[in-house]
């Protein structure tokens, strides 16, 4: 019950208008980053994290000073990068998470103490004021984790953005189509980015009770792995799944158990990410902003993706380089 109540908290913060505000804040910050005269080179996979962190903090109603953005983006980025790691790399990320949770707890305490939390219109204020099934405010450490669960996934979308730009580099026809400004094409493209590219390959789950599925007996406590990437590339579900084809989603009838890059099932009762709409809006915004900056080009680089790494990423990080203005010849 507590899980569903908190999930409803997230769903209430991720309305269509709220997702639009988040995407607008990101687009403005990303455009500003690429427009800086000193921005000659932008490594999308890593540098967009600070842009997303700034957008997420402002959207949530939290301070977004440069020093705060830098520190939080590094911590969020480490959590994303090392989510599938074992041993020392994962331990390092866990240690940094302690610092991040302490910061989040301070934000919750501040919202509750200084009166800002009385206005739950902001996502951070809503988390600070959220009450459990007994009408009690969540303990600060618990509320801090929930605040991070609202912010960190926004930064994780940066990996999808890197994949989206890879798709634009390798498929210039789609870059031209998106330049025409069709909202439908943006949605189709963003959905296919989520289906085609390997964000995170699998998720684990534990059986709550004994049951039989397709002849296989599960006992309570048994652990199973759901193959996200494999399901998104299953030829029994998707026609020519190894081809990048956004048009496959034109007229598509959504199925909660076939397109599952961010978890499956019903968004309210299952384990589907409540932020799918925000993810789509952010991917579309990133593709749009890149298209609005033709002065940046993707020079020859290694865009291969190592599926042994979790979460997977383009090897080069997706480097965008500003074109040099033509040199004037003497006398002209």
Nearest to 313 by CA among 202, 198, 191: 198
Q: Report the distance separating Cα 248 and Cα 239, nearest Å.
A: 8
Confidence at residue 117, expressed as pLDDT on a 0 to 100 scale: 46
Confidence at residue 141, expressed as pLDDT on a 0 to 100 scale: 96
Q: What does the mean pLDDT of the chain come to? A: 90
pLDDT in tens, 117-140: 455 679 999 999 999 888 899 999
- Label residue 34 by pLDDT band (50, 70, 90): very high
Confidence at residue 203, expressed as pLDDT on a 0 to 100 scale: 86
Cβ neighbours of 125 (radius 10 Å): 21
Whether residue 29 is predicted with pLDDT greater than 80 in this model: the reply is yes
Q: Report the distance separating Cα 221 and Cα 229, nearest Å.
A: 24
Confidence at residue 308, expressed as pLDDT on a 0 to 100 scale: 86
- Label residue 63 by pLDDT band (50, 70, 90): very high
- Label residue 192 by pLDDT band (50, 70, 90): very high
Tokens representing 121 are 């219109």
DSSP string, 239-286: SSTTS--GGGGTT----TTT--BTB-S-TTTSS--TTHHHHHHHHHHH
Nearest to 116 by CA among 62, 64, 69, 152: 62
What average pLDDT does range 297-311 have in this prediction? Answer: 93
Phi, psi of 26 (to 5 degrees): -65, -45
As a whole-number percent, the residues of the chain with pLDDT over 70 amount to 91
Residue 240, sorted as left (phi over 0), alpha (psi -120 to 50) or beta, turns out to be left
Phi, psi of 52 (to 5 degrees): -65, -40
DSSP string, 286-314: HHHHHHT-TTEE--S----B-TTSSS--B
Confidence at residue 329, expressed as pLDDT on a 0 to 100 scale: 56
Q: Report the distance separating Cα 103 and Cα 98, nearest Å.
A: 9
Nearest to 196 by CA among 169, 158, 167: 167
Q: Is the peptide bond before 311 cis (omega within 30 degrees of 0)?
A: yes
The pTM of this model reads 0.91
What average pLDDT does range 293-312 have in this prediction? Answer: 93
> How far is the first Cα of the chain from the last one, in angstroms, to the nearest whole number?
74
pLDDT in tens, 87-123: 666 656 667 788 999 999 999 999 998 665 455 679 9
pLDDT in tens, 136-176: 999 999 999 999 999 999 999 999 999 999 999 999 999 99
What average pLDDT does range 291-297 have in this prediction? Answer: 95
Confidence at residue 293, expressed as pLDDT on a 0 to 100 scale: 95
| DSSP code of residue 216 | E
Q: Report the distance separating Cα 244 and Cα 266, nearest Å.
A: 26
Buried b (16+ CB within 10 A) or exposed e, 197-235: bbbbbeeeeeeeeeeeeeeeebeeeeeeebebbebbeee
Q: Is the peptide bond before 50 cis (omega within 30 degrees of 0)?
A: no
pLDDT in tens, 231-260: 999 999 999 999 999 999 999 998 889 999
pLDDT in tens, 259-273: 999 988 888 777 788
Q: Report the distance separating Cα 156 and Cα 239, nearest Å.
A: 28
Domains and CATH numbers, the chain: 2-320 (1.10.630.10)
């Amino acid at each position: 019950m507590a899980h569903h109540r908190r999930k409803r908290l997230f769903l209430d913060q991720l309305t269509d208008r709220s997702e639009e505000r988040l995407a607008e804040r990101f687009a403005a910050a990303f455009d500003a980053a690429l427009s800086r005269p000193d921005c000659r080179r932008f490594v999308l996979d890593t540098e967009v994290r600070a842009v997303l962190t700034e957008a997420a903090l402002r959207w949530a109603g939290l301070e977004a000073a440069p020093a705060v953005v830098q520190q939080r983006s590094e911590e969020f980025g480490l959590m994303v990068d090392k989510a599938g790691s074992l041993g020392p790399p994962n331990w390092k990320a866990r240690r940094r998470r302690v610092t991040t949770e302490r910061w989040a707890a301070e934000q919750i305490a501040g919202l509750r103490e200084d009166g800002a939390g009385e206005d739950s219109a902001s996502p951070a204020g809503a988390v600070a004021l959220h009450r459990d099934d007994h009408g009690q405010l969540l303990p600060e450490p618990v509320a801090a984790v929930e605040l991070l669960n609202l912010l960190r996934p926004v930064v994780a979308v940066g990996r999808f953005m890197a994949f989206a730009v890879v798709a634009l580099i390798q498929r210039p026809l789609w870059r031209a189509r998106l330049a025409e400004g069709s909202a439908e094409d943006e949605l189709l493209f963003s959905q296919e980015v989520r289906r085609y590219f390997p964000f995170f390959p699998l998720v684990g789950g534990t059986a709550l009770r004994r049951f039989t599925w397709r002849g296989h007996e599960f006992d309570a406590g048994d652990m199973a792995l759901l193959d996200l990437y494999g399901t998104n590339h299953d030829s029994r579900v998707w026609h020519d799944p190894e081809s990048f084809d956004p048009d496959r989603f034109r007229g598509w009838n959504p199925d909660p158990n076939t397109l599952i890059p961010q978890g499956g099932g019903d968004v309210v009762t299952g384990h589907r990410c409540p932020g799918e709409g925000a993810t789509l809006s952010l991917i579309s915004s990133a593709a749009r902003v890149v298209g609005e900056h033709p002065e940046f080009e993707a020079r020859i680089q290694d865009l291969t993706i190592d599926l042994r790494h979790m979460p997977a990423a383009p090897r080069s990080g997706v480097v965008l380089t500003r074109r040099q203005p033509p040199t004037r010849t003497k006398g002209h």
